[in-house]
Chains A and B, each alone.
Chain A
Amino acid sequence: MDFDSWAFPGIACAYNNRRGNLAARSGGSRTPGAHCGLATGGRVSEIVVESVSKLWGATKAVDAVSFTAAAGQLLVLLGPSGCGKSTTLRLIAGLEAASAGRIRIGGRDVTDLPPAQRGLSMVFQSYALFPHLSVAENILFGLKVRKVPATERAARLQRVASLLGLDTLLERRPSQLSGGQQQRVALGRAIIAETPVCLMDEPLSNLDAQLRQDMRREIRGLQQKLGITMVYVTHDQTEAMSMADQVILLRQGRIEQDAAPAELYARPATTFTARFIGTPPMNLIALADGAAGAVVRGSDGPALFDDKGDGLLAGIRPEDIRIAERQGVPARIVTVEYLGADSVAACTIGDQPIAVRTPGRLNLKPAAAVSLLWSPAALHLFDAATGRRVDDDRLRRVRDRAFVASA
């Protein structure tokens, strides 16, 4: 997926102009850290997590998880609540002690080091701002603790404040700020440390939808501009897809899939991934053996492809399906949800539900009979028992022998 199309290089420094003439600035330099004067001192750190586990009593919150965040990369830990993504982040931060495994940051084993010595900063879901301190004091807290000289502190505060558009808010208390401004202060406190690694624990979940979209771009812009290695925890797959270089999908403390966003979308390795990514997610339809090939279970044809169907799940993305007058697989409309740019129709084939996403407004009444079509390339297959994607050779064979084809 190409991020350059929206990751405006000038966005972070030009924040003040955002309401004004961002477009005019967006042709700026894209060298990391070049025109902001803020950088990580040339140190870029890769994060290596090696079969790390965390046990709470008998429960495995994190179960032998291994992954690598390359230097300067934005890695997203994605998953439903309780999947261990926040715990994994806290293990990297050193806020929890790992029960097993090693964690290395920039080649240095930090498993047994306290958080402050790991060379990282963190933004908390609730921001964790000190409510009695002004914005400036909040941002400077760490520098004061580390006894950075006052003149350097002032200079760094100045840079961070203008970078984040906080110049006029420095004397305010957190309670006098809006949610988005508080978020910026938390970001400021993280980046003023100029650490090569920044951890984010669902930083946008307390913001409204519009602001969330703006901040997504801003954080991504900052991360690229400053050349930080970032580990970002979220349960929101849109955030993951739009921001990440690499996504790690977690489920019950284990890695379900570790891939780039495009790969995650195009080749989900399991039914869990298939159900998690996409809005609405991929349809998974149980198949059965029919007379002429595999049919949708509970229907009497037509055959989708010339092979056995029992024990398989067909995966088809809602946006890959077209509604046709005839030729395709007969289905029945259950409801139609109109979303503006497109409509999502919930249908059934036999006893299997299937969602269809079509552009524009769909004028079909519930119980209407329709015909569904998709191209062979849109078909994915999963083993119903293990939930795993069938291997490529078999999938290619099946796609070659598909009957339902998009005209």
Chain B
Amino acid sequence: MTGRRYFWNRFFENSLAVSAFVSIATLVGIFLLLAVNSWKAFTYIGLGEFFSLNAWNPAAYDTPSYGIGALLLGTALTTLGATVIAAPLGVGMAFFLSEIAPMRLRNLLKPIVELMAAVPSVVMGFTGIVLVGPFLAKVFGLPNGLNALNGSILLAFMALPTVISISEDVVQAVPRAYKEASYALGANRWETLIRVTLPACYSGLLAAIMLGIGRAIGETMTVLMATGNATAMPSGLFSSVRTITATVAIEMGEVPTGTTHYYALFACALVLFLITLSINFAAERVAARLRKRGQ
């Protein structure tokens, strides 16, 4: 019997190790693939041209140009807009759920928040075209609503479930003793919430927001459908923008293998990969610091 138990123990330990290894190997593999192909792009195009404000026009009529400045700015605008919307909403919602809402309301709202994460991105994009876009056009008196703000609003809603559920965990993790001490000193519920609970979870909330940003920045279909995809340098939230994700998605299907354009798309993907990787990494660091302090 012991022999059999030993076998199964070892079997499951090893399978878990293999799954862990496969995930890491895949990540490293993706990075290497991107890096090797991007290297060719950088040697053909030059880093200066690639990170310049020149137009992104690889399939130009005359001379192709490969500047990702406008695309980076498009990604930054939509993501920043999404953060500005999602951060207060998400954190507020998390506080409401864990500190204020009565149990019954909470049990009703939580599954709804989780359902938000289940809306397919193409459906969000569609909403952007038929609902958010016309709404923005009407409210701001624009000819059309296919702009960065439209993308921001949609991305905010896609990032909200991440922000809310992580923030809520963070708020819940604040030791009960803190709040009780506050009440004991005569502070009311609001004072306790603002002066005690909130400061206790600053870094956790920051991590939640950063993971939300990480979610928003890599989103493709929604922005591809809702932001208009103009490659012109955006001048604000009301400009049509083309994000890096949309560029790769639009052009990868068509580009002839082994051309400068092909490698340039890998370079775009590498830039995006490094951005999301560093955001997630930073969020992890912040969260880890929090865990350490909580002990």
A binds B: no
Residues of B within 8 A of A (CB): none
